[in-house]
Structure 1
């Protein structure tokens, strides 16, 4: 599995509507969080290795009304607190 975090900027007043629509329309979305700052939403996307994330973002996510722009980041490793020993 490959994890991506996608920052989403929404049209004014559309953040909650866009967040709910992303959950319905985009396969692999695990979480959508409203956040503060430059971006409005943070989307956690988990897909199979080798699946084209660009196609998913451009065909499914970009089709959600109310999205102004996105920024996709790859998560290479997940740190688990149970794996840390001091």
Structure 2
């Protein structure tokens, strides 16, 4: 699985509605967090490596009313506290 983090900026007053729709409608979403600052939501997503995240973002996220813009980051490795030994 390939992991991604997607920052989402929402139209004014639409953050909660957009967050709920992302959880229900976008495949591979692990969690959606409301955040402060320039962006309104942070989406954690995991998809099969051979699938195209750009297509997923453009087809699924773009279809949700209330989203102004997104920024996608790829995550290459997960550091799990249970897996780290000193």
The residue aligned with 2:73 is: 73
Counterpart-to-counterpart distance in 1, 2:78 and 2:52: 21
Distance 1:57 1:33 in 2: 17
- Aligned residue for 1:19, secondary structure, equals helix
Which string of whole-angstrom CA distances, capped at 9 and with x for unpartnered residues, describes residues 34-67 of structure 1? 0001000000011011101000000111110000
Q: How does 1:1-86 map to 2 (within 5 A)?
A: 1-86=1-86
How far apart are 1:24 and its partner, in Å? 1.1
User: How many angstroms apart in 2 are the aligned matches of 1:21 and 1:82?
Assistant: 33
For the residues of structure 2 that align with 1:27 and 1:82, how far apart are their CA atoms? Answer: 27
TM-score normalised over the length of structure 1:
0.97
Root-mean-square deviation over aligned CA pairs: 0.7
Stretches of structure 2 that go unaligned for 5 or more consecutive residues are none
Q: How many residues align?
A: 86
